[in-house]
Each structure stands twice: as structure tokens, then as C-alpha cells.
Structure 1
Amino acid sequence: MKKDWLEPINSYVKVEIRGENIEDFINECLAQNISIWNLRRTNENAVTACLYTKNIKGFRPLLKQTGCKIRFIEKNGLPFWAARMWRRNGLILGLAGFLVILFLLSNMVWNINVTGANPKTEYQLLKAAKELGIKKGKFIFLLPNVRQLQQQLTNAMDNVTWIGVSLNGTTYNFQVVEKEIPKRKEALSPRHLVAKKDAVIYDMFVEKGQPVVSPHQFVYKGALLVSGYIGKEGKTKLVPAKGVVLGETWYTTNVTIPLATKFQTYTGNTVTQHKLRLFGLRIPIWGWKDGEYKSKEVSENETPLKFWKWTLPVSFIKKEIRETDGVKRVYTKEEAVQAGRAMAKKEVRKLLAHDARIKEEKILRQSVSNGKVNLSMHYQVIENIASEQPILIQQGD
């Protein structure tokens, strides 16, 4: 008979049939539609054949009828294989446990490397990364993706220009570009102090050099404030002028504040879904709610899963659905003016050194048009206006 294509799945046995009426036995099997295949004659009164275990009971009457005997040689098929494996369950469970542990370890953070940062910045970076969940032993697929980490860490660190984040296997690499804060060096060469902008002199603190201006005096940009020449006429010498010259300077800024503004806020209601993507098919793991909010914001983080050093065709998806609510903020004219003044002051602060102070502020112009309040603000600022200017010494002086 022809071999059944289900043979590897169904349980079957290989047997030896002995007797003088083997041909009659085979004919009876065919007559009763009993599958038998791979018939091979081993001698005059014996053949080997394969048959399904479910047909063994049907064989017994035929064996008695024809006077043949049967001997089992092999047991094959999925059920027999499963039974053999079950008898070795300790080995199977151990192997399965090893593979599961290896899979989990392949998707954990094991190393965190930081390059380009001094020890203080490195400590601050690792602390900020830890707050975002980046630490040894955490599952990589539960962490923010590399782009999100790079943005969040760069925003959290004030003393860096850029942070590059990469994930190589189980290692996070952080490459830091620190802000270059120039160190003020003591100038040993002769120099003057000149005004770096127009101002009215407010106060002076001169350590070295000869002051040439006085408080309440107006000076233009580039005017000499403290001379590097000291001593009486004929007995002068050059020194590096040093000091602080506080001047009253002026800034003007314009801002526009809408009387009515619409923006989105989070209500606090969030649904988190976890899924596996396998060959394009998304399989839910946990988090079954759909988050059917009227207004919502959806974000997804997809992380490929790995086994040892190989990337599997499986990825872990974390989907967050946040409910949002449209809010309309309405200002009165007075409230809009106050908000505009605060915004303008913040913009001016960005232009000033940390030791500068705003002496006075006033509104130059104020108008309302097209549902917006327009402000023009004027600020009087006290700041250091001194700038170094080298004294060029000609040969022979």
C-alpha cells in the first residue's frame, strides 16, 4: 500500500510477520482496508512492514485466521516521540529553562558605558539615566527607545551640548559632548578695559589700572574705562587693567499674548498595552482595554527581541494611550498684560549674564488687536560693561 503523508504525525510501528500464509494475511489486510506499507521479505516465511498502532487490534483476528505471528521491531511517530521525551522530562525541562534564561539575559541591560564626560558629569548622567530606568538588570524592551532616551537626557543635563545614545547588544553607550565654559585666565600682558556697549556708569571696582571715567558719566561702545597706564607723567608703566565697571544699559523687547488660547492637557487616564509582533502579526500579551477616549494621544515603543547575539523576527511593543482634554484659557486684558510682562522679562534674562540685575522696567506701548495684547517693554539693567583690550607695544617703547 502507499505510504500515508500523515505517517510522521500518527504513531506507527515496524513489525516482522512470520508464517507460511503471509500472502493470505496481506490480502485480508487489503480486503479490510487496513493500511500496511514498506513490505520487505526477509526470508521465505518472514516479511517486515509498517502499520498504524490503531490497527493492531484489527490484526489479531487475521493473525489467528492465517496462523501468522508478529514481532515489534520499532516504534515511530509523534506520540511515541512525545512519550520518550516525557520520560526524559528532567532533561527537557532543564533545556527549556536554560533557553528561557538565556533569552531573558539576552534582553537585559548588562553594561552602561559613558565616554567624553568628566567624573562629575558622568555621575549626573548615570543618575539621570537611572531615573529613566536605565540600570543593570532591567529588561531592554520595557525601556524607552534610543531616540527618546537621547532627547530626555539631553534636556535633563544643563552642562552638556549633546548626548549620543546607542544600544549594542546588552550594552548602552552614552557619548557626551560637554559645553565648553571658557576659564577666565589672569592676563599677564598689558591691557585696557573698554566699554562693550553704550551705558551710563553706575559704579566701579578697579583692582589694577587707572580709572578714566566716573559714575553717572555716559560712555559709548569702545570708550576707554580703565587705562593700563599707571603712574605720573614721565614715570608711567603698563599693567593688565583689572576690575568691574557696572553700567546702566537698556533693552527693548516686544511680546504678543492671545486673549484666548486652546491647548491639550492630559486627564491622567492612561491605558497601556503590551504586544508581540511576530512576522507582522500583533499578538496581545496583557492590557486588553482599547482606550476608546474621545480625545487621545497614542505613543508606541517597539523593541526587537534578541537571543544571544541574534535578532529574532519578534519584537515587543509597548503602546500607551493617554486621554486628552481640550482646554480653553481666556485672559482679561489685565491678566494678558501681566503674562506678557513675565514672558518679556524671561526673554531679556536670556540675554544677560548671571550677575546682571534688572533695575527698572516699564511698558513703552500697549495695544489690543485681533484678540491679542501687544506689549513693547523697556528695561534698565545694571551689568558689567568692561571688556579687555590689549595694549599693543611697539618695538622701542
Structure 2
Amino acid sequence: MLRKMINGLRGSVRLEVSGAFPERFLNLCAQNGMAFWDVEWLEATRLRLTLTRAGGRAAPELAGRVLCELSRVKTGGVPFFLARFRKRYALLVGLCLSLTAVLVLSRFILIIDVEGNETVPTAQILSELRRQGLRVGVYGPGLDERDLAHEALLQLPDLSWMAINLHGTRAQVLVREAVKKPPAEDGSVVGDVVAESGGIVSHMEVLSGEAVCQEGDTVAAGDVLISGSVKLPGPKYGGGVDLGWSQVRAAGRIYARTWRTLTAQVPLEAQVKQYTGSEETCWSLTFLGVRTVFSRNSGISFPEYDKISRAWTAALPSGRELPLTLKCETVREYVTVPAPIDRAAAQALLEERLELALRAALGDGEAVSTAFSAAERDGMLRVTLQAECREEIGRFVPAQGLPETAAQEPQPEV
């Protein structure tokens, strides 16, 4: 492999030697220190061999000594390749510019990859990096990766770590997201657990406080389920005197059977688009973040229109995209006209939306049974969902003040 590279750099010539004694030509080449290889005998008086570029220039003189004739079969290597451009000045200039562009552009950042983020948007990270100086087209050796990552990390509190690695024209940004601590309940705030909605209590889990209701009781929204006022009984032989009341933060889970009614409606007649046939096309080229518009008029003269965008981004054979994008935007004018809707499709859509809204409202709860009803009134299609659910209805409410029983101090009996 190394020998092939050396021969390619210095050039090689494939010659055909014909004469009465072509082996004498080989002897002269060896005596004069000329390297040759790949000797191929075609006939007794004819052979082929490969010489270096310098040996090819001296070969005609040696062949004349032994009365042999030479003919060049082919040439190869860098010197012969460059020699093709001696009279092709435009190609020579293009080759020089291409080499210069490769050497110069390889020093600039053309691609920025962000890896490791899940919840923090990539656009937010790239925006902050651009503000700090890392963007497509910036001179790579002039960047301080450590300071840049540190400054960007201070502006992104949702990230806990960032590292920037430069690989030629590619900047690799590695990030780790911060793990947020779950909110802790303030134990110093006392209060009650009240019903967020009415229903029939089916299960109770009291963690602190005193239960006010029992399983099977019917409660209304706002009723106290677990009281934060706990009565402290006195000692067994204390004469029946209680120790008073203690205020705590009531906590627990109260599950109940509830009934929910959700309604959604849609007009029976909708406005649809009707295209007029008028179109405008705008071409633009974006290179290193700089956008150039080729259309004469980049404005849109239509009051109502649809925009269809198509973009072609240059990419390397490996599939990695380059900062060169050609974009075509087509604008189509339309007017709106009334048209009746498909009632069955509209009802199915509303039922699906109501089910999604019910699941979002229940959270960890579940719907035991559901029933839909549909009616048309005043040009509207109204769909109603009635559901029987099992859900947690308790929510904590801070106490506004101590109850009278808690404010009274126990009086010993006389």
C-alpha cells in the first residue's frame, strides 16, 4: 500500500518494448539504477513494463542503444494528472479554489448537533448558544468551548451539565437535564380535606386528621371529609376531662362514585376553502444562516391563502446535512364558502373529544360507564356525555381560623 502511494505521488509510465533482444533493455535499466516492475512478456520479441516518471524520460535513450522501439501504453499518478491542466487555466483555477475552499471551510462550524436533551427543546439550546457566539459559520479555532458551555449553562436552569466538542466542521453539544425535586408539603400549614365534587364515598384512607364521613355516605362539593381539628381525650381516670383540640394538616385519600356530564357542540354548516386558481411562487437560498430571496416581490397580495413550502437541503454522502438550503414557497389564494358537514363524522369527532376531556378531568380515576346522546338545535349539533366514575374527590384546604371548640380551653370539673 505504501509503495502504491509513493508511485502515485511520483508518477508512473507503462511502456511496451519491441525488438530483437528486449531483455537487453531490462539489463540497461538495472545497470543505470532505474526502478521497474510489472514486467509482462507478450512475445519473444515484445514485453511490457512499468517505470517511474523519471525513468520514462530516460528510457528512449536506453532503448536506442539496444535497437528497441518504445511505445507508451498509459500513464498514472499525480504529476500526469496535474499536467492535464497546463493549458486549461479555468480548470486549474477551479482546482486551486476548490482546494482553498476545503482548507478554509474546514476551519468553520457548519453543523451543530445537540445530544442528551429530552424535555428541554433543542431550539432553546441552539438559541442560547447562538447568543453566546456558537452558530453556523463561526470560526472554530477562535472558540473557547469550556467558557462557552459554562456561560450557556448559567442561562439554562433546566440543564445541569453541558460540554462542547469540536470535530472539524461539526460542533457536538452534549447536555444533561437537571432532575427537579418534587414539591414538599408544608407541614406547618393546617387545614381540612374537603370534597372537590359530590358523590358517594366508596373507600377512605385517612393518614392524618379525623374522618368526618364514612364509606357509603353521600357528600356534596365543599363538605369536610377529613377534619384537621383532632380532639385529644383525657386520661382514663381523669374524671372525663378532655385535653382540648389539636390542629393538624389533614391528609388522606377519599374515593367516591361520581357522575359527570360533559357537552360539546359544532355548527351543522361549516366554511370550507375554495381555491381561485391564483398562485405566487417565491424561491430563496439560505447559506450559513443568511437568506437570499430571488423573487421580485416577496410580499403576498392575497387576503386569504395557503402556503406550501418545499425545502431541499444539501447533505454529505453519509447523510449529514450542510447549512445550504433551497426553499420554494407556493401561495394559493382561496375564498370560503358554506357547506354542510357530515353529521356522523362530526358526532364521532365530538364523542372522541369528550372522552379525551373526561380522561383528563379524572386523572388517576376511571370511568365505570359512559353514555352519549346527540341533538340538533339552532343550527348546532350538540353531543352530551354522561359518565359514572370512580375517582378521588378529596383536596386539601388550609384552615381560615380555629374553630370555637379548638379555641376553648378545657375547664376542670369542681
TM-score > 0.5, shorter chain as reference: no
TM-score, normalization by structure 1? 0.43
TM-score, normalization by structure 2? 0.41
